[in-house]
Amino acid sequence: MIVRLVSAFMVAAVLLTLLTLFVPQWLNGAWVVLCGLLVIGFGYLAFVYVRKTMTLLKNSKKDNPS
């Protein structure tokens, strides 16, 4: 899992470097897109973690009916 994450960050860094070198006029738009993707990613992670937490709490209440 960590290897995939690091690989994805390395590929993203190379693509961003190529973007800044060859088409710097697109850089402002690229930052807006990257910020949007970051917000969407954080929102998705928050949704998934809240759902998993609710499932764990629900299962723990079933296992321990005290």
pLDDT tens, residue by residue, 2-58: 778 778 888 888 888 888 889 888 888 888 888 888 899 889 889 989 999 999 999
The answer for residues whose C-beta is within 8 angstroms of residue 34's C-beta and 6 or more apart is 16
pLDDT at 10: 87
pLDDT at 1: 66
Do 30 and 16 touch, CB atoms closer than 8 A?
yes
The tokens for 40 are 């969407």
Considering only CA atoms, which of 15, 19, 17, 35 is closest in space to residue 27?
19
